[in-house]
Amino acid sequence: MTSEWGEKSTADLMSTYVSKEAGFGVPKEGWRICLAHEFKEKRKPFQAKDVSLSNVWQHLGLGIRYLKWWYKKTQVEKKAPFIDMFHALPLRQIYGAPLGGIGGGTITRGWRGEFCRWQLNPGMYHYKTVIADQFTVCLRRGGQTVYQQVLSVEHPPTLQGWNWGYCGEYAFYHALYPRAWTVYHLPGQNVTLTCRQISPVIPHDYKDSSLPVAVFVWDIENKNEYALDVSIMFTMLNGSGHKDDTSGGHWNEPFHLEKDGEALSGVLLHHCPTVNPYTLCISAREQADRKVSHQTAFSPRGTCSALWSDLITDGQLDSPSGSSPPTQKGERVAAALAVGCSVPAMGHNSVEFCLAWDMPQITFGSRDRKHVRRYARYFGSKGDASPSLSHYALTHYKEWERRIEEWQKPILQDSSLPSWYKSALFNELYFVADGGTVWTELAEDADVSGGVRSEDGGLPAQPDVIKEYGRFAYLEGQEYRMYNTYDVHFYASFALVMLWPKLALSVQYDIAGTVVQQDLTERLHLMNGKYSPVKTKNVVPHDIGDPDDEPWHRLNAYLIHDTAGWKDLNLKFVLQVYRDFHITQDSQYLRDMWPICQAVMESEIKFDLDGDGLIENSGYADQTYDGWTVTGPSAYCGGLWLASLCMMCKMARLVDSEKSYQYYKDILDRGSAAFDKLLWNGKYYNYDSSGGHHSNSVMSDQCAGHWFLKASAFGEEDYQAFPKEKIQSSLKSIFDLNVMAFAGGQMGAVNGMRPEGVPDRSSVQSDEVWIGVVYGLAATMIHEGMRDEGMRTAEGCYRTVWERLGMAFQTPEAYCEKNIYRSLAYMRPLSIWAMQLALNMTQKDQAPKASTGDSDKVGT
């Protein structure tokens, strides 16, 4: 099932590897790359100059208004804009699997071993490679050091007393998130090191998955005829390379902790800015056959020869007692930890390290409120938990690995699935942790209901699922800084509801509570230059806020369009409510959500302007495709509308409301007929019904509503909104035109394609490929028995992003056929888990469906 071009692409990433060493315990499946690899294609981010002349004219007013707003935001308020169109992230083809669990902050280690992307302050990213953060190996034989090397290919201008420039041709990186392996063959030494990093990202686990820790296990293979003493040294800066590293007042101290018969030692690095202070911790277990030593503090400036000499002398560090003095302004401080062991001739041994960071209480940009992270429920919120976190990680990581392998094994061992898919499925999950993610406790005085109680058609003030499992938020993208952007979460939510369903329900309760809220404050919207309310009642918000402001309390950070009433957001809420109920079978959830669903549907029905049961568009189609002008009913919004009506009918039966059932069924019958009459052209559904020059474009996402019906196990007998033969004809048209007629069929599906086989360039987004949409399209194809076509469609995106463009662990929202990309590290590609759901359902032939019999009624 893997294409020839795919096999060549995979081989290219390892073509510079000269060693034959395969490493210790490295799995077959995953993303693998030689440390000497250089990506040939260097793309640039989308910029104003990339907009066509016709679109420049169309958006001239937007550009002027954005410039004025951007200047005020950055120069007057001294804040970072939620989308910075003037400073898009340049492509750095360096990232590997992030470290840490979910919601406690992340530190990304690049595939060459560098610590290079930091999200410790919630939702705010800092892209800085900290050169002092390294692993170094020391080999000793007969009491003499015979080899000492920083395991880095870098040649930095600082720390020149260290031995840099490891030859990358002798090493490779292998990622299968949440674990990764780096294999180093030491030239001339007959020794191979395998560094395995483990983060506690475990499906259906709501404790360990929240921990801000990572474990590094170093497996050492000695293929000599004599024994060796081997030490690994871990060095870490007190900080993240940010300017506050030199603000002064930071200090380090050694520690020792013994608990439950297990002891560990290490160094605490106390980082003390005025906002969101934290403690980094490097540690190792003390064992009879291991030697743990430390250097409490060293300056990462200059040559730093003393630390190097300290290790080279005897493979150990001096281990001074006592704390370091607080740093002076302008000064940086770092720490080191070394672990040594003996490795027998032709034998193996291992050493372990833990990296932890403890920032239990956080404030967002407004500084209005303090929030407590999820892990503090188990380890306390005083900021002194690093030793306990480290001890827990080092004594539990083997159990984490057992559970991770148990989860991944059925998919990895399925010979019917191609290797690229297995890599994509697990590695795209990085965004659940590294999407600026926050996971917090619900404050005792919090009220998520929006002030409307259950008895009045609202929610409980503190729903059980949020009280027990906390609040969850992740960014639209690392460059698009808005939490829980709902039109994008619609796609990404498959990963959450399949793997952490309680978090998916928590997000839904949070969103439902905002529906009844309103904020009638008038503000300028940059697209049309008009003032309108921030949020109107019975409308789903675009997002729950900007981490540089106050998420959950100030909604709709998105200022480009009027977000007071986007049609697709309400519909996507209804679709997710039923899909989540179908997967979780949580009857209380359905009862709580039913009146909210009724309210948002009523706010949609007003757009049925001619009473034919089909809502219409004017101006812009919806929030997802906000660059395409639409007139009249459209395939995308119209399809979501009909699917929502199907689900309302289903839910009405489940809550035993025959009146509601008849009401929605009548609209559905009329709407289905109108949809077919206005949009079906004999081969596929037209983009819209306007009759304009691009209204018959082939939209890759035209079957989104049908996709959610299939994902919720709606069968052909459940409300004929979309006749099967028309869906399959549409999917065939999309495959033939948007996939195979675009870029040689090797880059996924372009958003819009003209029927004559050229991309639709009527807007700035119509000729883009959206990776997350493509994964959803592939899932739809799989549901409809077009498995080969679905796999081929999705494979193009994976090969392009991960193997050709060097965008591993930063999958963007979009790329064009040539030259540019847009919005690195984006939420939507988590939709690849919809493909897995489709595979699961088709493998069972028919997934179990929620019965509409009396035994399944959930009450009103």
Distance between CA atoms of residues 373 and 100, nearest Å: 14
Question: Are both 660 and 807 inside the same structural domain?
Answer: yes
Which residue in this structure is represented by tokens 């029927």?
Answer: 755
Written as six digits, the tokens of 390 are 């480290």
Question: Are both 722 and 838 inside the same structural domain?
Answer: yes
Q: Is the pLDDT assigned to residue 62 strictly greater than 90? A: no
Asked if residue 214 is part of any domain, the answer here is: yes
What length does the chain have?
A: 860
- State pLDDT tens for residues 681-697: 999 999 999 998 899 99
Residue 617: band (very low, low, confident or very high) from pLDDT cuts 50, 70, 90: low
Question: Are both 539 and 600 inside the same structural domain?
Answer: yes
Last residue of a domain, one of 363, 381, 398: 398
Question: Are both 502 and 389 inside the same structural domain?
Answer: no
Written as six digits, the tokens of 696 are 């018959």
Taking Cα atoms as reference points, which of 355, 387, 292, 389 lies closest to residue 130?
355
Task: Return the CATH number at 248.
Answer: 2.70.98
Into how many domains does the chain fold?
Answer: 2
Q: What local confidence, expressed as pLDDT, does residue 435 receive?
A: 98
Asked if residue 404 is part of any domain, the answer here is: no
Asked if residue 32 is part of any domain, the answer here is: yes
Asked if residue 465 is part of any domain, the answer here is: yes
CB 157 within 8 A of CB 165: no
Under 8 Å CB-to-CB from 538, ≥6 apart: which residues? 515, 516, 599, 600, 602, 603
Q: What local confidence, expressed as pLDDT, does residue 855 receive?
A: 35
Under 8 Å CB-to-CB from 149, ≥6 apart: which residues? 136, 137, 163, 166, 186
Q: What local confidence, expressed as pLDDT, does residue 847 receive?
A: 44
Q: Is the pLDDT assigned to residue 857 strictly greater than 80? A: no
Alpha-carbon torsion (157, 162, 165, 166), positive or negative: negative
What is the percentage of the chain residues whose pLDDT exceeds 90?
82
Q: Is the pLDDT assigned to residue 836 strictly greater than 80? A: yes
Question: Are both 482 and 631 inside the same structural domain?
Answer: yes
Q: What local confidence, expressed as pLDDT, does residue 574 receive?
A: 98
- State pLDDT tens for residues 92-140: 999 999 999 999 999 999 999 999 999 999 999 999 999 999 999 999 9
Asked if residue 393 is part of any domain, the answer here is: yes
Question: Are both 371 and 460 inside the same structural domain?
Answer: no
Q: What local confidence, expressed as pLDDT, does residue 48 receive?
A: 67
Q: Is the pLDDT assigned to residue 534 strictly greater than 80? A: yes
Asked if residue 432 is part of any domain, the answer here is: no
Over residues 460-480, mean pLDDT: 96
Question: Are both 334 and 481 inside the same structural domain?
Answer: no
Q: What local confidence, expressed as pLDDT, does residue 6 receive?
A: 57
Over residues 191-202, mean pLDDT: 98
Q: Is the pLDDT assigned to residue 364 strictly greater than 50? A: yes
Question: Are both 636 and 549 inside the same structural domain?
Answer: yes
- State pLDDT tens for residues 391-409: 999 999 999 999 999 999 9
Q: What local confidence, expressed as pLDDT, does residue 621 receive?
A: 43
Asked if residue 53 is part of any domain, the answer here is: no
Under 8 Å CB-to-CB from 421, ≥6 apart: which residues? 791, 794, 795, 798, 835
Q: What local confidence, expressed as pLDDT, does residue 1 receive?
A: 45
Which residue in this structure is represented by tokens 């991944």?
Answer: 408
Asked if residue 661 is part of any domain, the answer here is: yes
Question: Are both 385 and 477 inside the same structural domain?
Answer: no
Least confident of 176-190, 283-297, 619-633, 719-733: 619-633
Question: Are both 382 and 450 inside the same structural domain?
Answer: no
Q: In what order do the strands lie in the sheet with 814-815?
A: 44-45, 820-822, 814-815, 769-770
Question: Are both 177 and 326 inside the same structural domain?
Answer: yes
Under 8 Å CB-to-CB from 93, ≥6 apart: which residues? 39, 42, 805, 806, 807, 808
The domain containing residue 724 runs over which residues? 442-843
Question: Are both 383 and 466 inside the same structural domain?
Answer: no
Q: What is the CA radius of gyration of the chain?
A: 28
Over residues 326-330, mean pLDDT: 97
Over residues 269-298, mean pLDDT: 97
Alpha-carbon torsion (721, 724, 727, 730), positive or negative: negative
Task: Return the CATH number at 453.
Answer: 1.50.10.10
Over residues 21-47, mean pLDDT: 96
Which residue in this structure is represented by tokens 């796609």?
Answer: 491
Over residues 592-612, mean pLDDT: 91
pTM above 0.85, yes or no: yes
Q: Is the pLDDT assigned to residue 628 strictly greater than 60? A: no
